[in-house]
Every structure is written in structure tokens, then in C-alpha cells.
Structure 1
Amino acid sequence: MPFAPSHSNQCELHRREGRLDEAAAHGRRAVALDPGDATGWYNLGVALYDRLEIEASMTCERRAVRLRPDWPDPHFELAEGLLLSGRLEEGWQEYEWRWGLPGVPPPIPPAIQKRRGHAGMRPWDGRPMPGGTLLLVADQGFGDSIQFARYLPMAAALCSRLAVACSPDMLPVIRSIPGGQRAFTAWEEAPPFDAWAALSSLPGLFGTEIGTIPAAVPYLRAEPARVERWKGRLDGLLPRGYRRVGLVWAGRPSHGNDRSRSMPLARLAPFLALERTVLVSLQKGPAQAEVAQVYGAAPLVNLGPELESFADTMAVLAQLDHVVCVDTAIAHLAGAMGRPTALLLPHAPDWRWLLGRSGTPWYPTVTLHRQPASGRWDEAVHGAVAAVTGNPVRASGLRASGRPTRR
């Protein structure tokens, strides 16, 4: 006799392997066998999101929510579908369920909550706090922190005594924005505060809609002294008169969706064929090793090992003509600095990039280049080359390991 949980499990396993047709088939079989199982609806909804069947995905997640109203996972998946489709008001409400997801720590550590100076602290409701101290917490990844840091000046206008808790990596970013000067990286340094909010909750608190996204760029600027130091380095390293294009092709391997968002450097073959162009690798992590495996007409200079902080990366970005990257923190950093950026997106993108757009209201200088189907990067890469050069691109002559790569 068919067993619904088995089909539900197969749905999720196939989804993680990128076998989305099989995942959806197992998911539909699971809910047909047991329409009262919230897990089956949830897994099917996630698989349909990856297939970019967003309305059907949200229908499944709403069904799961009705069956298990207190389960955070379908609420959060519903939030992603709502936000991706531009229904921000309801999306921000559902987005708050993220605090209940497995492995998500509380924004304020319990030990800090019990500290005497914070006895009266409360979640911030977005109202003015004259005379009070507001603590904001950079609660998510680097890219999220950069994206939502644009709200710091708006928060500072309502509460002049603002403190920001962030990771050491984010410190130069946060401190460069008005309102972020009192940033700290260790909870022992936290001042007494009257209310708190997560950076990622600020869009909802400010009632952000598509037309009201604060998108005045640049809102990040590199340190002038660091820019000057890197100018000397780049001018001595890169050929004069060449177009300078920064590249990032992979994110952190530990990211939950890294299989979909990252690519091998060899996929960027058309950029290696460009004339009078120098490519500057900003890539960090294990994928840096791929630089030694490819070559083409355009020189490729690997700066990854020299970039010790986001402050260094910002100083380099300030001196590039264009940036080409997958969906990592560099896309947010370059966008926040107002740098021309071509962003390569998987077929089912993260919610912030919305649906069917070639640009983004979050970052006006960023163009979006989407996979037409899961795993198909060629069209997106060719679109990015056209954005960088202003011309359509033909098949490239990138060479890998000494042999021509046929695309």
C-alpha cells in the first residue's frame, strides 16, 4: 500500500538533488494519499517554489499553515513566495516566523536579556523614541545585513541614540552608514537599551512596499585612504586603458542553496574572450583555486587572497568599471556603492530579486540576468556580457586545463 510519508520524503530528497520534476511528482502523490499531513504540503510547496511555480507553492504552504498554524517552516516559505511576487505587506508579516526556524538563534542572547541594564527592553514598534536607546541587530548573512543597513538613517531619525550589534566582518560596512557609528561586535560591549529590532525586520516596521524601497545609492562608500592605497596597487598590476571587470562566481559552500546559485568559473567563458578587458577576481574561499585552471584573451588577476576585509573589497570595487557576480554579498556591496553590476540569478531566485525583472528596486545600478530554466547559465552569462560591453556576445574561446572548452 502506498505510504504518504515516504513520497513526502522522496519529494524533499529529489528537490535537494535538483530533480525537480520527480520531486513534484512525489509531493503530489504524498498529498493525494494524505491531504491532512502538513509536512506533505510543505515539502510540495518548497519543490514548486524551486520550479518557479510560485502561486501553486503558496497554495501548498497556506494549506500546511491551516493544518499546523504554529509550525514556522511553512509560514517562512509562504513569506518567501509572497515577497518574491511583490506582495510585501503580507510577506513581511510571515517573514517574522523565521525566528522559530530550527537553528535560528534569538536576536538577543538570553544572558543579555537578563542583564540588569536591559530589564525594561522591548521589541521596537517603529515609533519615535526621543531620549531612548534603540539596539539594532544585524541578524542574518552578510548580504542581508548590507541590504537592510539602508534603513539605519531612517531609524536614527526616530531615535538618535542608536547602537548596532554586528559581526566583525560587517563592522566597516555598518560604521560607514549614518546611524551606524555606535556599532559593536561583542555583546559585552552592548550599552543599556530600551528597545531592540533586527535589521531584517526594519522593512516591515517601516511598511516598505515596492514603490517605497529606500534606494538612494550610494549609501556605502569606501574609505578614501584605503582607496588610495589600492589605487597604487591596481595601477601597478592592471594594464592601462583596459576595461576593469570584477568577477565572483561562487558563494559559501555551506549556504543552503549554493548548488543553485554558484557556478564553475569556466561558465564565465565569454568574459575570458573579451578584448581590452582585464578581469579582477574578487572570489574568496575554495573556488579561488579555479583561477589557475582557466585562461583566455582577457587577463585574469586574482585579488582574492589580498582582500582581508569588506573594507578592502569596497576600495577595489570603487575602482572597477563593472562587477559580474552570482548572488552573494558582493552583489549587495557593489549595489549599495552604486557600482554597475550584472547579477547572475538561478531560475528560482531569492525573494529580494522579485519575478521577471531585469532590474531591482533595491539597487538601481544592478541588472539581473536570470536562468531561463534550472541549471541553464549560458543565456544569463551572455546577457551579463552584453550589459558590460553594450554588445551581444557569441560563443567564447575560454580555455581550461590547456584544452578548448566547447559550450
Structure 2
Amino acid sequence: MPFAPSHSDLCEIHRREGRLDEAVTRGRCAVTLDPGDAAGWYNLGVALYDRLEIEASVTCERRAVRLRPDWPAPHFELAEGLLLSGRLEEGWREYEWRWRLPGVPPPVPPAIRKRCGPAAKPWDGRPMPGSTLLLVADQGFGDSIQFARYLPMAAALCSGLAVACSPEMLPVIRSLPGGHRVFTAWEEAPPFDAWATLSSLPGLSGTVLGTIPAPIPYLLAEPERVEHWKGRLDGLLPRGYRRVGLVWAGRPTHGNDRNRSMPLTRLSPFFALEKTVLVSLQKGPAQAEAAQVYGAAPLVNLGPELESFADTMAVLAQLDHMVCVDTAIAHLAGAMGRPTAVLLPHAPDWRWLLGRGGTPWYPTVTLHRQPAPGCWDEAVRGAVAAVTGGTLRASGRPARR
């Protein structure tokens, strides 16, 4: 007799291999054989999400939640489906289950909370006159940048505000107006009366699609650093050329990096543009690819010179357009109000929503989506059109290795 858990396990194995049709077939076998197995519904829901069958995925995760109400994984997957499809109110509630996922540390270490006494508890979003609120820049760099827009709202509701962030995020948070106290080590945390994470602020403020705060730009580069990089780029780049920034890969350790990143050669249409200079802001191992590709549009590799997000912001201020995959740079450029084309995988992260060419989070960003998993050509053509205003003047010489 077929064994339902085996089909469920194979569903997840095939999904990770990118064999989505086989994954869904195995998942459906699992839930047919044992409709009371929450794991089968959960794995099938994840596979359906990757196939961008979002309603079917949401239905599966709701079934898993009913079967095992205390299991965090289907709650979190349900949140992603709800948020991706624009149902933000319910999505934010389910999103809070991320803190119960295995291996996820608490946003504030227990010892720090204990030091502030039992009165220091999670913030409920209500005004706190005479009190200090601790906000934690949690999750990835992109999340911190996206949700930093809520800091003024939080500051208006409390007398004191302190922000805990990673050293990498320090220049970003400090560039926000308000002069908030910022620290990067828990030993520096001041006494506080309540705490929250930046990624919880949209839910606490009741954000829906029509109320996303978008005071663009809400991040500004340091003027002195802008002057430094202006001189550097003016001396390095040809005059009168369109300046287009490129980032084609995220961190290899990211769970979805296989789908969101690409080789630089997939951006070859940009190398055929005339009167254009390409500026690589790529960091990490992928920046080595910049030495392997050339074409009519010269490529200047600034990656090794960018020491912090402060440098990156200053360079972004000098560019006419930014083209990137779904990494922190997309959020940084969007928050600065820079024209940006973001290349998205077929099943995108929830924040980019479904079927849109733009995003309410960043009005100056255009979105270019894969029509099918792994198919970048159409998305790249759309990004080229966004950069050139729809009129592609190319030399006809493709980029070569």
C-alpha cells in the first residue's frame, strides 16, 4: 500500500530540486491517501506557492492549520500567500507566527528583557506618553530598509525611541530624520518600557494596500559622501553617458537565492546599449563575474570599493537607473526614490504582490517578472525598456565572455 508520508517527503524534495510538477503530484497523492496529515497539506501548499497557484496554496495551508493549530510552519506559509495576494490585514496576523519557527531566536534576548523588569512587554501599537519604546531591526537588510519608514509613526506615539540594529544597518537608520538613538550591541540597550520589531510595525499600524506609507524618499545619502563619490564617478565614467547600476545576485546563503539570483551573462542586453555605462554595485562572490563580460556598454566594477551601505547610497545618488534582482539594493534604491527596475523570480517574495508592474511600497520601482520558473529573458527585456524609455538603441553586439 502506498505510504502517504513518503509522498509528502518526495513533494518537498522535488520542490527543492525545482521539479514543481512532480512535487505537486506527490503532494496530492499524500493528501489523498491521508487527508488528516497536516504535513502533507503543508508541503503541497508550499509547492503550489512556488508554482504561483496562490489560492490553492492558501487553501492547503488553512487545512494544515486546522489540523495542527499550534504548528508555526503552515501559519507562516499562509501569511506569505495572504500577503502576496494583497490580503494584508489577515496576513500580518499570521506573519507573527514567524517567531515560533524552529531556530528563530527571540527578537530581544531574554536577559535584556529581564533587566528591564516585567513591565517591558511587546508593544500593542497604542500611544506610550512618557515611555521608551525599543524597536528591533530584524530579519534581512531589505526588510529593515522597507519597514524603517514606520519609525516616524512609532516616534510620534512614544516619548523615547531606541533602535537596535546590525552594524551594517547603522548608516541606514541614522539617515532617517528624527535623530533616534541607535545601537548595535545589546549591552548598549537603554531601559525600555515596551518593544517591537520593525517587521511587526505594518501590522500594528493596521496597514492595508491603500495605506502603505510611502513618503519617498525617506532615506538620503550623506552629503559629504555624495560629494566624494561624485568626484570619483565623474573622473571615472565617460561624460554624457546614461549611468545604469547593476546587481545580479544576492547572498548565496539566502534560502531562495537559487531562484532570485542569476549569472551576469543573463543581463547581456544591457551590454549592447549605446551611450550607456554600467556600474556594478555587486558584492560577494558574484562580483568576480564582472571581469568576464564586455560589450558596447562599458562595465565599471565598484563592488570592491563599497565599504558600507553609506557608500552604496552615495553611489545610487549618482546613477540614472538601478537594475537589480530582489536584494537589499532594491529596497535601498526604492527608499531613496531612485528609478529602479527589479527582476523577480516566478514566485516572488510576498512584498512584491501579484501581477503588478509597480509596487505601492516604492513608487519609483518597476517590477519585471519571470513568466515561468527560471525564464529571465522577458523580465530582462522589460528592464531594458524601463531603462531606455522603451526605445532600445543597441549596437547589435551582444556581450561576450
Taking structure 2 as the reference length, the TM-score comes to 0.98
Shift of 1:391: 2.2
What SS does the aligned partner of 2:355 have?
coil
Partners of 2:269 and 2:399 within 8 A in 1:
no
Structure 2 equivalent of residue 240 of structure 1: 239
Runs of 4+ that moved beyond 4 A: 392-396
Whole-Å Cα distance in 1 between the matches of residues 39 and 178 of structure 2? 43
Structure 1 equivalent of residue 375 of structure 2: 376
Whole-Å Cα distance in 2 between the matches of residues 45 and 143 of structure 1? 25
Query: 1:58-77 maps to which residues of 2 (within 5 A)?
Result: 58-77=58-77
Query: 1:97-246 maps to which residues of 2 (within 5 A)?
Result: 97-115=97-115, 117-179=116-178, 181-246=180-245
Structure 1 equivalent of residue 275 of structure 2: 276
Partners of 1:42 and 1:64 within 8 A in 2:
yes
Shift of 1:113: 1.8
Q: Deviations along 1:333-356, whole A, 9 cap, x unmatched?
A: 000000000000011100000011
Structure 2 equivalent of residue 405 of structure 1: none
Query: 1:316-327 maps to which residues of 2 (within 5 A)?
Result: 316-327=315-326
Greater CA drift, 179-188 or 219-228? 179-188
Partners of 2:107 and 2:197 within 8 A in 1:
yes
Shift of 1:392: 4.9
Whole-Å Cα distance in 2 between the matches of residues 179 and 168 of structure 1? 19
Q: Structure 1 vs Structure 2: percent identity of aligned residues?
A: 86
AA aligned opposite 1:306: E
Structure 2 equivalent of residue 404 of structure 1: none
Query: 1:365-404 maps to which residues of 2 (within 5 A)?
Result: 365-393=364-392, 397-401=397-401
Unaligned runs of 5+ in 2: none
What SS does the aligned partner of 2:278 have?
strand
What SS does the aligned partner of 2:130 have?
coil
Structure 1 equivalent of residue 79 of structure 2: 79
Q: Deviations along 1:208-236, whole A, 9 cap, x unmatched?
A: 00000001100000000000011111111
Count, aligned residues: 400
Q: Deviations along 1:78-137, whole A, 9 cap, x unmatched?
A: 00000000000000000000001122110111121221x344201111111111000000
Whole-Å Cα distance in 2 between the matches of residues 288 and 221 of structure 1? 26
Cα-Cα RMSD: 1.1
AA aligned opposite 1:167: S
Greater CA drift, 93-102 or 106-115? 106-115
Shift of 1:46: 0.2
Q: Deviations along 1:315-344, whole A, 9 cap, x unmatched?
A: 000000000000000000000000000000
Whole-Å Cα distance in 2 between the matches of residues 27 and 211 of structure 1? 36
Whole-Å Cα distance in 2 between the matches of residues 233 and 380 of structure 1? 32
Structure 2 equivalent of residue 251 of structure 1: 250
AA aligned opposite 1:161: G
Q: Describe the shift of the 1:87–1:211 C-alpha distance in structure 2 as closer, same or farther (beyond 3 A).
A: same
What SS does the aligned partner of 2:255 have?
coil
Structure 2 equivalent of residue 328 of structure 1: 327
Structure 2 equivalent of residue 265 of structure 1: 264
Query: 1:340-359 maps to which residues of 2 (within 5 A)?
Result: 340-359=339-358
Shift of 1:32: 0.7
Whole-Å Cα distance in 2 between the matches of residues 288 and 317 of structure 1? 17
Whole-Å Cα distance in 1 between the matches of residues 392 and 4 of structure 2? 49
Partners of 1:341 and 1:365 within 8 A in 2:
yes
Q: Describe the shift of the 1:72–1:18 C-alpha distance in structure 2 as closer, same or farther (beyond 3 A).
A: same
What SS does the aligned partner of 1:295 have?
coil
AA aligned opposite 2:339: P
AA aligned opposite 2:80: E
What SS does the aligned partner of 1:164 have?
strand
Shift of 1:393: 4.6
AA aligned opposite 2:400: A
Unaligned runs of 5+ in 1: 402-407
Q: Verify: 1:364 aligned to 2:363, yes or no.
A: yes
Whole-Å Cα distance in 2 between the matches of residues 160 and 172 of structure 1? 23
What SS does the aligned partner of 1:188 have?
helix
Whole-Å Cα distance in 1 between the matches of residues 392 and 55 of structure 2? 35
Shift of 1:394: 8.9
Structure 2 equivalent of residue 42 of structure 1: 42
What SS does the aligned partner of 2:147 have?
helix
Partners of 1:334 and 1:340 within 8 A in 2:
yes
Structure 2 equivalent of residue 88 of structure 1: 88
AA aligned opposite 1:90: E
Q: Deviations along 1:276-295, whole A, 9 cap, x unmatched?
A: 00000000000001111111
AA aligned opposite 1:63: R
Whole-Å Cα distance in 1 between the matches of residues 58 and 397 of structure 2? 43
Partners of 2:83 and 2:351 within 8 A in 1:
yes
Structure 1 equivalent of residue 11 of structure 2: 11
What SS does the aligned partner of 1:114 have?
helix
Partners of 2:324 and 2:343 within 8 A in 1:
yes
Q: Describe the shift of the 1:280–1:20 C-alpha distance in structure 2 as closer, same or farther (beyond 3 A).
A: same
